[in-house]
Amino acid sequence: KVINHYFYDEAAYDYHDGGYVPLEEPQTPEKPLNIPEILKPDKETATDMYYTIVAQTGEVQLMPGEKTKTWGYNAPLLGKTVVFKKGKTIHLHLVNHLPEVTTFHWHGLAIPGPIEDGGCHAPVYPGESRDVTFKIDQPAAFVWLHAHPCPSTAEQVWHGLAAGAIVQDDHESSLPLPRNYGVDDIPVILQDRRFHEDNQWNYREDYDPDGVAGPTPMINGTINPYFDVTTQKVRLRFLNGANRREFRLHFSDDLEFTQIAGDLSLLPHPVKMTKLLIICAERQEIIVDFGKYKPGDVVTLYSDDVPLLRFRIHEFQPDTTVLPETLFETPDPAVDKDLPVHHVTLDGMDEAVAMNGKKFKMDRIDYKMPMGKVQLWDICNTNPAPGMIHPYHMHGTAFKVVSRNGHAPYPNELGLKDTVAINPGEHVVIKVWFHVSGVFMYHCHIIEHEDGGMMAQLQVIDPANPDKKYHLMNHM
Ligand code: C2O
Ligand code: CU
Ligand code: CU
């Protein structure tokens, strides 16, 4: 069966918002899609990998005319793709060449917090650096790196501080899936910007407390991109790296595609669809089969009716590989009987956003949970319909979606997740467990809502060190 709708409540789609900025097709020449380079390690042994990651300023020819001033990781805009292998120990030298404090957050990595995780408690000041070490112990996925200093996460991500990272494991590597990076396996980072005078971005001028958006689609840091297709099947690793915007994806000819993975794992089974909504911070991986097209054809990826990316079909070898019916077994550990359901509410709009009625404070721990124990969390969007969809995200863990208002989760959210979209008035129950300890944030991933205080933090307690103290600054 092929799914041909977007699952979510249409009344809550972002285009109903009073401040909605419609996407517009760029009137600039088409350009080849930027494929971020793979970041090379400084050093590598059988068990350890060493990388230097530099947050830097730059400028990029995005539009005809003036170059745009941008920020990025080891690149002028966005960043190089890091490839992590499960089981390896990673040593990172994090360097800040920006004019202000930043942090390096690994969105989707289950690594200790708050320092390795890189949230607001792990500042790197201008001209300084920080070294962190962690082990990769999670299934294959597409995760990302972004800045996370409170409360200027949104502005720094808007400047360009966001990059994809691929986690590999033996299981995923054994499956017949496209994985020739840049050829048939490509990251597709979906963002939007507004170009002001001289092609510059101006976050402050565009500011909206419910999320900043711009009319121009920017894909992997390319305006009006095309991609040359040279294989019958192409794997697209979508990352919604926008501050606010939802992308409602579909192809020309209503081309059917197959979703194989979500945020933090493969899906249990491939899901065939013609429409896919991706909310801020989510990742969705699909395989597109261009078998019915011939050289010279063009297949267009749209959000609503605006073209995002054009696939130019070239000669390719026929590919008859069949996707396995089973891709992944999602872990489903039993809930601990001693832990009652934990309730989280996402409250308010505009400047009044909050979580459980409170605004985030860096030096307040809102909840404690034992490491290794499994608990149900009930996440409620208290905005009545037709309010907005909040993307709820947790650091340091991979969770399983259990139910939506008592009903089964959507078929494409049956793998491990770190971000789940909550419709207005909806309760989404998720199963949460941590295998690392520390202090972790959880929040709405409309980044202006997060900066505005729709965020809280929990301490995951390691039974071997229950009294561990954390240095929690407060500059909010
Ligand atoms: Cu993308 Cu607090 O994270
Ligand atoms: Cu995160
Ligand atoms: Cu929100």
Ligand 1 atom with minimal separation from the 450 CA: 2
| Residue ranges of E strands in 314-374 | 342-347, 354-355, 367-370
Among the candidates 126, 152, 174, a domain finishes at 174
Structural domain includes residue 454: yes
Question: Are 217 and 146 found together in one domain?
Answer: no
Ligand 2 center to residue 437 CA distance, Å?
15
Cα(374)–Cα(335) distance, rounded to whole angstroms?
5
Cα(162)–Cα(292) distance, rounded to whole angstroms?
35
Question: Are 32 and 154 found together in one domain?
Answer: yes
Q: Which pLDDT score is estimated for 386?
A: 87
Using alpha carbons only, what angle is made at residue 204 by residues 345 and 347, rounded to the nearest 5 degrees? 10
* Contact (Cβ atoms closer than 8 angstroms) between residue 376 and residue 429: yes
Structural domain includes residue 189: yes
Q: Whose CA is nearest to atom 1 of ligand 1?
A: 107
Ligand 1 atom with minimal separation from the 419 CA: 1
Structural domain includes residue 7: no
Ligand 1 atom with minimal separation from the 108 CA: 1
Ligand 1 center to residue 198 CA distance, Å?
31
Q: Which pLDDT score is estimated for 265?
A: 98
Among the candidates 150, 174, 198, a domain finishes at 174
Ligand 1 center to residue 441 CA distance, Å?
8
Question: What phi and psi values does residue 87 have, to the nearest 5 degrees?
Answer: 100, -20
CATH of the domain at 192: 2.60.40.420
Residue type, 315: E
3-state helix, strand, coil in the chain (%, to 5): 10, 40, 50
Q: Which pLDDT score is estimated for 471?
A: 87
Question: Are 152 and 205 found together in one domain?
Answer: no
Ligand 3 center to residue 328 CA distance, Å?
30
| Helices vs. strands in the chain: H and E counts, helices first | 4, 32
Question: Are 164 and 253 found together in one domain?
Answer: no
Whether 146 lines ligand 1, by a CB cut-off of 6 Å, is yes
Distance of CA 253 to the CA centre of its chain: 28
Ligand 1 atom with minimal separation from the 441 CA: 2
Q: What is the ipTM of this complex?
A: 0.99
Q: Whose CA is nearest to atom 3 of ligand 1?
A: 107
Question: Are 98 and 215 found together in one domain?
Answer: no
Ligand 2 center to residue 216 CA distance, Å?
25
Question: Are 441 and 413 found together in one domain?
Answer: yes
Ligand 1 atom with minimal separation from the 148 CA: 2
Among the candidates 107, 142, 174, a domain finishes at 174
The neighbour count for residue 27, using CB atoms within 10 Å, is 9
Query: 207: domain range?
Result: 177-313
Helix (H, G, I), strand (E, B) or coil at 23: coil
Cα(67)–Cα(32) distance, rounded to whole angstroms?
17
Ligand 2 center to residue 429 CA distance, Å?
19
> Which tokens is 18 given?
């009073």
Q: Which pLDDT score is estimated for 476?
A: 42
Of the ligands numbered here, which is closest to the C-alpha atom of 157?
1
Whether 283 lines ligand 1, by a CB cut-off of 6 Å, is no
Ligand 1 center to residue 46 CA distance, Å?
31
Q: Per-10-residue mean pLDDT for the chain, 476 residues long? A: 95 94 98 98 98 98 98 98 98 98 98 97 97 98 97 98 98 98 98 98 98 98 98 98 98 98 98 98 98 98 98 98 97 97 96 97 96 98 93 98 98 98 97 98 98 98 93 69
> Which tokens is 428 given?
């989404």
Ligand 1 center to residue 341 CA distance, Å?
23
Per the DSSP assignment, residues forming a β-bridge with 343 are 378
* Nearby residues for ligand 3 (ion, Cβ within 5 Å): 390, 444, 446, 449
> Which tokens is 3 given?
């799914």
The neighbour count for residue 429, using CB atoms within 10 Å, is 18
Question: Are 215 and 160 found together in one domain?
Answer: no
Whether 393 lines ligand 1, by a CB cut-off of 6 Å, is yes
Of the ligands numbered here, which is closest to the C-alpha atom of 448?
3
